[in-house]
Structure 1
Amino acid sequence: MTSPNKCRRKLVVVGNGMAAGRMLEELFARAPGGHDVTIFGAEPRVNYDRIMLSPVLAGDKAFADIVIHDEDWYAGHGVDLRRGDKVVAIDRAARTVTTASGASEPYDTLVLATGSDPFVIPVPGKDLPGVVTFRDLDDVEAMLAAAGRGGSAVVIGGGLLGLEAAAGLAAKGMTVTVVHLMPILMERQLDQNAAYLLRKAIEKRGITVETGANTTAILGDGKVEGVRLDDGRTLPADLVVMAVGIRPNAALAKAAGLEVKRGVVVDDHLATSDANIFAVGECVEHRGACYGLVAPLYEMAKVLAGRIAGEPVPGYVGSVTSTKLKVTGVDLFSAGDFSEGDDNDEVVLRDPARGVYKRVILRDGRIVGAVLYGDTADGSWYFDLIRKHADVSDMRETLIYGQAFQGGGVLDPLAAVAALSDDAEICGCNGVCKGTIVQAITTKGLSGLDEVRAVTKASASCGQCTSKVEAVLAVTLGDAYSAAARKPMCKCTELTHEEVRERIDAKTLKSVPAVMQELGWKTSCGCPSCRPALNYYLVAAWPGEYRDDPQSRYVNERVHANIQKDGTFSVVPRMWGGLTTPDELRAIADVADRFKIPTVKVTGGQRIDLIGVRKEDLPAVWAQLNASGLVSGQAYAKGLRTVKTCVGKEWCRFGTQDSMGLGVKMERLMCGSWTPAKVKLAVSGCPRNCAEATVKDIGVICVDSGYDIHVAGAAGLHVRATDLLGHVDTEEDALEVCAAVLQAYREQAAYLDRLYKWVDKIGLDTLRAEVIDDLANRRALYDRFVVAQRAVRKDPWAERAAGHELHEFTPLAKLAIIPPVLVEV
């Protein structure tokens, strides 16, 4: 019997990068099952998004976040992935490739996607340990290792990659200098004015910029120690990053006798000089041009996939490219030709107060180039007009003000997106146009942003186009688009909670006035809905930098007590894990007697509530409680309230672990952590669950083999049982997982969303992948939680905690007494 595979053509792909991956995606969509595919990748890993290496270096993303095709994708499409086995020779006559390991593989069709190599300037010392390029994950890991040791870094090259590397290393605490040969940064993408603003922004980050500087040698004895410039100066360096450009990797093609100039020469259908061999991506030279940006690579991939599938597709005719810098807080866009010329007509807008500069260059009534700094919202629109050679003569007077001012009126964001043509680019990182998104929405029944990301990849990388993708959703679905998916956070803004958080980070906004000004708030001072939310988002985004604003908190949080219906307040001292002592009980009784507090009640969270305290007595009540060592239980907080425990194995004959001890450690670790909504925890010493851990935000069930971690429970107006997140073996791991869950919730959830609502939005599997499966990501979350907690413990409310040492958080350390959360009414 003949194998069905005998009817399929053998496709071999050399290179496992972004161009090869996109070509295969397109091919599998057009001709599923039509080819036996083998991929040879030089790197020992799956396909990932190289343009997101900068956020990985900066610590904003982990490797798992930038994987494009995981193991299941290759298996699901029957792809034979040969990782870490580089192809070293092509036998065109025999139609085989040979790898470094000696393996030989036949092909009917061969695709070269060998990418490019970083250019290393030929100076003495270039091979010293500590000299790296910025091209792949290995380079990033080398830079992170160096940053972990601290010291100085010199980045040679002031282009896109160089500046992204510099920003990432500076964010990791290194002293960074950028050395650039040309007189301005990013001279290929920017004019002098935009480059000036960019330099100011880079230098504000503490990065030294040396332009017009030529490197003559890299110094060091056994490792890099410095960089010598041609003016005689020596810059100290523990790390040198070469980011001076790339060259097409065409060595394999040249050795096989294919036509090679700067890159592998291809025609409009990506065919090389051998009819059975094609090339795609950065290794290609097409019509004399080589491309190093992702959008042209994806355009090539689409054409090549159609050719291999046997479909009649238009040829590739070259690309107009645009540039965005992936440095948080720097908004920069560039496209087309902005060189000086007598036949140029340019329109310029400068707004020094906002740090905005816009320049649009016209020739014969058509836009040929655009440079935007500080306000890049219209970048896609200008880019679309450039690509189409559209005549803009009639709108010349208002052109610089953007799309919203055309046609005599101001368009809202939805109308602006609706006016874009189907081939207008929405997502530059992944080369996705509006028509592709619309088709996916209509044919696949997509209704939300995450679905669009999964199907089209739009906004799945840097995320700068998220609002435009959501606008496409709204325009396409109309009334069917979920109002909840696009619900503004309040009447003061059209932005959602998610968009506000995104922009606070992207624009480095560190005060409530800055947020309102930069994000175009409609009111002067906000409202009771948005001010507490903004205050929380700033606390979460900039721990230790942003100073909490008590006036942006609810009255209960300001006075550290819950207001009652008669205008009095209830005061709840903290009892760690529900444990107390006779001295604490006497102190509470003394306060109740002295201030004639009418009601003393045991709460459901294993604490004592003093109810009926007059507002004017609150400062004195808290002063006396603090003097006795009792601190606020924060029963009013959008934060950790209680950790309920049972007696555990210390006393109970059924107990399997020390639930009281773990509960106390957990509460001491997490107390004071502001969160989007209230958080309650519990630790039960055995599966009998006397502490009711399965209806808490985070619950721990102790079992013989360790600890089962549960999440997303609730027992209030909405009753919901927890979901099992995972199992850990040790108490230290349980503490780390619970803190990582809390930090992920802090960073991702909308203000006032309970933890169970957040888990419902992101999915339990996503959370499990972040904090159970990915140990590195769990530790990163825990470390960020530690940073935030250190900031909280230095809060003004805690500064009067004389005699208490700040606990140094380490996952394996015993949790000592930490500064109590005192109150200031």
Structure 2
Amino acid sequence: MNKLKLVVVGNGMAGVRCVEEILKLDPERFQITIFGSEPRPNYNRILLSKVLQGNSAMDEIIINDWSWYDENRIRLYTGETVVKIDSGKKIVETKSGIKAEYDMLILATGSSPFIPPIDGVRKPGVIAFRNMDDCRIMMEHAEKYRKAAVIGGGLLGLEAARGLLNLGMETDVIHNAPYLMNRQLDYMSAELLRKELEAQGMRFWLNANTESITGRSRAKGIRFATGVSIEADLVIVAVGIIPNVELAKSSGIRTNRAIVVDDYMRTSVADIYAVGECAEHRGIAYGLVAPLYEQGKVLAQLLCRPNEECPPYVGSVPSAQLKVSGVEMFSVGEIQEQAAGTALQMYDGIKGAYKKVTMADGKICGAILYGDTSEANALLQLVKQNAPVSALASSSAQQGAGNQDEQIAAMPDKETVCACNAVSKGTIMRCVVEDGLETAQQVKEKTKASGSCGGCKSMVEAIVSYAKRKGSLDSAAAAPICACTDCSHEQAKQAIMHGAYGSVEQVVSALGWKRKSGCDVCVPALRYYFALRTGDASKAQEGEPIGKAYVGMAVTVADESDPSSLPNYDARSLGDELGRLGRKLAFPTRLKAVVASGLHQAAGVLVHDIGITDSPAGWQIYVAGHAENPVRQGQLLGIAESYGEALELSAACLQLYREKAEFMEPLWKWVEREGLVELRETLFDTDYRLALHASFRGWEQEALA
């Protein structure tokens, strides 16, 4: 079979990551050609500041070296700029005249530095800070000259300034806002940063507007709008970026600020796609690594699985975990005072640590951490979930840094540690415990965790160290039930299910509870696990709590049949039977199910724990819906052809939830923790599904006996 021709315009981080994802999914599907305007292979642009500061060599920030292209049979053209797309003939052409045919075309043209209209900005000695060549020029200038100035007090400008200091140059930073990094920080955190950087040798000119670059034949200084001048032999412009859209625009592709794409990264022209800084999705052009990698993953799924339903890209919550001149910072969401109120603000002058959490309409919408970013992941999840402010009281973010081992133990396995590369805590733990990796560097090579912006490096190192000490993935990844014990829910459950204990008191004694009487957290949990083992929930009425678990579940039947016709007995029977089977069973928490007789029945199928609806294709079974905060839309578990199969699959899922979930863990949260794909794979094992179904009906069979 002839391979499809895939051409990628752009050899940067976004385009090549998309190619990597394609190679994972279907390495034989495409004949791949990549055009890159720089004369080198793919490298990590984010780490250029590390090169400038002397912390990394040029070769160390290469992501994919020349051999990678050869091994994957990718034709790479370096130093070539594509200037024309003929979408009718499906051909691209470079400035030097090279032509390449395509079946699919990915535009990953990135962005260019924004050069403001300042008088003299094109003089020699004025450069941007965007690529390896810029780094080399700055290093060469540092050998000849003494004074430098950086226009721009954002992240890139400050990193450039730190590098120039390392190169031995006196460095001034000019910023047109009242405080540094005003897009990521508030005034207080920015002032803490300014004082730290001034102590390192930087000089700042805030609320300053550059009028011109002075000097006849080359840059010699900067004159401000106020008339004040400073000397500078080298001027770095770092005031922002502009998406590269000229190629798309001249080829008739719809552009706005960037190349306009839909939820599957498709442009307005068939078979042409865009990812990265050059793409505009729902009015937003992202400049951070994590969203660009998410886009690449979605596009790879679409190109490799064209006949399957692929998850769309729905946007990202921008977050940045940064390290500027040795200072760790984290910023996520809306942090400007004009758009958000303050939910929490703390400052530790001794440790030099600052934390602020913002809110809007009672929901957490942003956060800033300065000096200590150990709570970054917890706060990121709260912002992504649009969690209520009350969630701060019970989250690890509110509890403070505390013991790092306790924090890591409390993190769910699925919590993302490396946002850039979507690497979870569980993945890192498995690398150490199951694969035998010894160092954070080895984990980075295997998973790419901390390999992009590097902001999560300290957390990755901490998890690796923690996993090595604990030695067991199961015991290491599980948090204690409460302060009364070191036992996790799973450990206590297994002890009850497989031990000879006859009471809560015996379990507490045998497992070494610190507080012999337990508390209102652990005792109800143990009682529930006993009820799960014995199947004896007869002492409680349906819907009544056992401790904090519940007996039975609420099942609603919604029939959309025409009143003049016969009712849909299958829907009613299915709902009645499901409710009857579950009425004497203990569940971790209260459950709500609905059975609808048709697709158009307004029965809230997608916002119930279990939602079942009849359709022409069969019985569609949805799980993990939730109508209250946090709102969750039910996900399709499967389609059953008959009434009996629908009952079997639903009952098996509920039984698995009973066996695997922790007490008071909602079904939506359990599915999120287990993973929908893993849940499907488990339940589509016929023998196991039948065994789970039989267990769900166990009390009924015992009664008949």
State the TM-score, normalizing by the size of structure 1: 0.55
Whole-Å separation in 1 of the counterparts to 2:279 and 2:13:
14
Tell me if 1:48 matches 2:39.
no
1:442, CA displacement in angstroms?
7.8
- 2-side partners of 1:354 and 1:476: how far apart? 27
Inter-CA distance 90–378: structure 2 relative to 1 (3 Å threshold): same
Query: 1:291 aligned to 286, 303, 321, which one?
Result: 286
Cross-structure match for 2:303: 308
Mapped to 1, the partners of 2:435 and 2:368 lie a distance apart of 37
Decide whether the 8 Å contact of 1:359 with 1:400 is kept in 2: no
Is 1:235–2:230 an aligned residue pair?
A: yes
Pair 1:206 & 2:197 matched: no
Superposed CA offset, 1:653-705 (max 9, x none): xxxxxxxxxxxxxxxxxxxxxxxxxxxxxxxxxxxxxxxxxxxxxxxxxxxxx
The counterpart of 1:457, out of the listed 445, 448, 461, is 448
Moved more, 272-281 or 429-438: 429-438
Q: Per-residue deviation at 1:231?
A: 0.4
Match of 2:519 in 1: none
- Corresponding residue for residue 329 of structure 1: 326
Deviation at 1:362, TM superposition (A): 2.6
Cα distance in 2 for partners of 1:377, 1:239 equals 37
Which SS does the other structure have where 2:332 is aligned?
Answer: strand
Question: In the aligned structure 1, how far is the partner of 2:110 from the partner of 2:393?
Answer: 41
Deviations 1:104-151 (A, max 9, x none): 100000000000010001111111111100111111111111112231
Does residue 23 of the first structure (1) align with residue 14 of the second (2)?
Answer: no
Question: What amino acid is aligned across from residue 365 of structure 2 in structure 1?
Answer: V
Q: Name which of 162, 165, 189 aligns with 2:157.
A: 162
The aligned counterpart of 1:416 is 407
1:140 alignment partner, SS class: helix
Residue 459 (structure 2) aligns with: 468
Change (3 A) 1:333 1:402: farther
Give the direction of change, closer, same or farther, for the CA distance of 1:363–1:123 in structure 2 (3 Å limit). closer
Whether the 8 Å CA contact 1:437–1:452 is kept in 2: the answer is yes
Pair 1:225-2:216 in alignment: no
Structure 1 pair 130–388 and aligned structure 2 pair: CA distance change class (3 A): same
Report how far residue 352 of structure 1 moved: 2.2
Unaligned runs of 5+ in 1: 1-5, 405-409, 483-825
Structure 2 vs 1, CA of residues 471 and 355 (structure 1 numbering), >3 Å: closer, same or farther? closer
Q: Please say if residues 381 and 403 of structure 1, whose CA atoms lie closer than 8 Å, have aligned partners that are also in contact.
A: no
1:427-576 matched pairs, under 5 angstroms: 427-434=418-425, 436-437=427-428, 446=437, 448-461=439-452, 463-473=454-464, 479-480=470-471
Which of residues 76, 83, 108 is equivalent to 1:81?
A: 76
After superposition, the Cα gap between the structure-2 partners of 1:331 and 1:442, relative to the gap in structure 1 and judged at 3 Å, is closer
Are the equivalent residues in 1 in contact too, given 2:35–2:81 (CA < 8 A)?
A: yes
Give the Cα separation in 2 of the matches to 1:426 and 1:163.
Answer: 25
Please tell me whether the aligned partners of residues 19 and 301 of structure 1 are also in contact (alpha carbons under 8 angstroms): yes
CA gap 1:373/1:43 in 2 versus in 1, 3 angstroms = same
Aligned AA for 1:378? E
1:157 partner amino acid: G
Partner in structure 1 of residue 30 of structure 2? 35
> Structure 1's 418 and 27: CA in aligned 2 closer, same or farther, altered over 3 A?
farther
CA–CA distance in structure 2, aligned partners of residues 398 and 27 of structure 1: 37
Give the match for residue 681 of structure 2: none
Deviation at 1:345, TM superposition (A): 4.2
Look up the match of 2:110. 115
Q: 1:763: which partner in 2?
A: none
Matched, 1:346 2:337: no
Question: Equivalent residue for 2:553?
Answer: none
Q: Aligned letter for 1:312? A: E
- For 2:458 and 2:151, the matched residues in 1 are separated by 35
Distance of 1:453 and 1:162 partners within structure 2: 27
CA 1:480–1:55: 2 relative to 1, 3 Å: same
Displacement of 1:434 after TM fit?
Answer: 3.2
| 1:442/1:391 CA distance change after superposition, 3 Å | farther
Which residue identity lines up with residue 24 of structure 2 in the other structure? Answer: A
Deviation at 1:452, TM superposition (A): 1.6
Question: Percent identity over the alignment?
Answer: 46
Check 1:21–1:434 CA distance in 2 against 1; reply closer, same or farther (3 A cut): farther
Work out the CA distance in 2 between the residues paired with 1:13 and 1:394.
Answer: 44
The answer for the alignment partner of 1:196 in structure 2 is: 191
What letter is aligned with 2:145? G
Local SS of the residue matching 2:276: coil
Cα RMSD of the aligned pairs, angstroms, is: 2.3
AA at the equivalent of 1:351: D
How far 1:451 sits from its partner (Å)? 2.8
Change (3 A) 1:286 1:395: closer
Q: Aligned AA for 1:167?
A: R
Q: Structure 2 CA distance, aligned partners of 1:293 and 1:96? A: 30
Contact 2:378–2:397 (Cα < 8 Å) also in 1: no
1:70 paired residue number: 65
Partner Cα separation in structure 1 for residue 432 and residue 326 of structure 2: 31
CA distance in 2, matches of 1:160, 1:33: 41
Cα gap change, 1:95 to 1:435, in 2 (>3 Å): farther
TM-score (normalizing by structure 2): 0.64
| Contact 1:150/1:173 (8 A) holds in 2 | no
1:84-112 deviation digits (Å, cap 9, x = unpaired): 01101000000000001101100000000
Judge conservation of contact 1:20–1:113 (CA < 8 Å) in 2. yes
Which residue type is aligned with residue 197 of structure 1? L
Residue 422 of structure 1: CA displacement? 4.7
Q: Deviations over 1:509-551 (max 9, x none)?
A: xxxxxxxxxxxxxxxxxxxxxxxxxxxxxxxxxxxxxxxxxxx
AA aligned opposite 1:454: E
- Assess, with a 3 A threshold, how the Cα gap between structure 1 residues 454 and 339 changes in structure 2: closer, same or farther: same
Tell me which residue corresponds to 1:275: 270
- What's the CA shift for 1:444? 6.0
Shift of 1:473: 4.3
Q: Deviations over 1:429-449 (max 9, x none)?
A: 544333554576688665543
Check whether the contact 1:51–1:429 (CA below 8 A) recurs between aligned residues.
no
- Given that 1:164 and 1:326 are in contact with CA atoms closer than 8 Å, whether structure 2 keeps it comes out as no
Whole-Å separation in 2 of the counterparts to 1:343 and 1:371: 13
* Aligned-partner Cα distance in 2 for 1:8–1:15: 21
Listed one character per residue, the Cα deviations across residues 468-492 of structure 1 (whole Å, up to 9, x for unaligned) are 324544676775479xxxxxxxxxx
Q: Distance in 1 between matches of 2:409 and 2:310?
A: 27
